[in-house]
């Protein structure tokens, strides 16, 4: 049974080899008799190469060299390396086929609309957005501990957002610093500890 499937795989390789765009495949030696996991891995590599010969000749040709190394290592008695080479040959047949250019290409490839990048902002705008985020974070902490300070600073936060929309970085920075300073004592109030 094993010899018959090896003969079928060899026949498939013989038929697929002339169709290869890279030239004929390296002639594949017959795999060893299925007596161990290493021999089975080598047989599986031969089958994978025969399948890849029609769909991806370049990967099949690359894998055939690794397959030949696996056979040599098996014959030399280095079964661990032979199994690793067989597994590597199987992995090489899974390599995606590289599309061949059909003619001159014109210009750069434009990404599809679903992959559009967000609009870029200036450094000033990014800085103001970071300042607004800092004010929001300080305000959230301020509201957790002191309701009166939260209400007072919430109005200042409204000015920060308005100044950011009006592109006034100095006003944003000044008001954010005021929110952070006003809410910092509320966040870091010392607690009375028992001696």
pLDDT digits (tens, 9 = 90+) for 122-138: 778 778 888 888 888 88
Please state, for a pLDDT cut of 90, what percent of the chain lies above it.
14
State the Cα angle at 50 between 46 and 51, rounded to 5°. 120
Confirm whether 88 is domain-assigned: yes
Confirm whether 26 is domain-assigned: yes
Identify the top-confidence range among 61-75, 158-172, 175-189.
Answer: 61-75
Confirm whether 178 is domain-assigned: yes
d(CA 94, CA 142): 57
pLDDT at 138: 82
Under a CB-based contact definition with an 8 Å cutoff, are residues 138 and 175 in contact? no
- 16 in the same domain as 76: yes
- pLDDT tens column, 79-103: 999 999 999 999 888 866 556 556 5
- 129 in the same domain as 83: no
Confirm whether 163 is domain-assigned: yes
| Residue 109 or 44, more confident | 44
d(CA 70, CA 37): 13
Which SS3 state, helix, strand or coil, does residue 114 take?
helix
Alpha helices in 76-146 (DSSP H): 79-93, 123-145
- 134 in the same domain as 82: no
Q: Which of 47, 72, 93 is the last residue of a domain?
A: 93
Confirm whether 164 is domain-assigned: yes
Q: Which of 46, 78, 93 is the last residue of a domain?
A: 93
Give the domain range for residue 129.
123-187
pLDDT at 188: 52
Confirm whether 19 is domain-assigned: yes
- 86 in the same domain as 8: yes
Which SS3 state, helix, strand or coil, does residue 181 take?
helix
Domain count for the chain: 2
- 177 in the same domain as 127: yes
Name the band, by pLDDT with cuts 50, 70 and 90, for residue 21.
Answer: very low
Confirm whether 100 is domain-assigned: no
- 129 in the same domain as 84: no
- 89 in the same domain as 159: no
pLDDT at 47: 84
Q: Which of 47, 75, 93 is the last residue of a domain?
A: 93
- Indicate the pTM of the whole model: 0.41
Confirm whether 49 is domain-assigned: yes
- 181 in the same domain as 143: yes
- 85 in the same domain as 16: yes
């Amino acid at each position: 049974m094993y010899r018959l499937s090896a003969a079928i795989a060899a026949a498939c390789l013989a038929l697929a080899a002339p169709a290869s765009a890279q030239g004929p495949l390296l002639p594949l030696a017959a795999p060893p008799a299925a007596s161990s996991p290493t021999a089975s891995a080598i047989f599986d590599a031969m089958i994978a190469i025969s399948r890849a010969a029609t769909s991806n000749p370049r990967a099949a040709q690359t894998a055939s060299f690794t397959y030949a190394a696996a056979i040599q290592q098996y014959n030399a008695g280095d079964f661990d390396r032979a199994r690793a080479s067989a597994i590597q040959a199987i992995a090489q047949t899974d390599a995606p086929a590289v599309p061949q250019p059909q003619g001159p290409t014109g210009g750069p490839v434009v990404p599809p609309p679903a992959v559009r990048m967000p609009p870029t902002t200036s450094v000033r705008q990014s800085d103001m957005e970071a300042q607004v985020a800092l004010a929001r974070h300080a305000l959230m902490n301020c509201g957790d501990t002191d309701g009166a300070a939260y209400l007072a600073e919430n109005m200042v936060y409204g000015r920060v957002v308005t100044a950011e929309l009006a592109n006034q970085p100095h006003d944003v920075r000044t008001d954010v610093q005021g929110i952070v300073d006003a809410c910092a004592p509320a966040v870091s109030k010392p607690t009375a500890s028992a001696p």
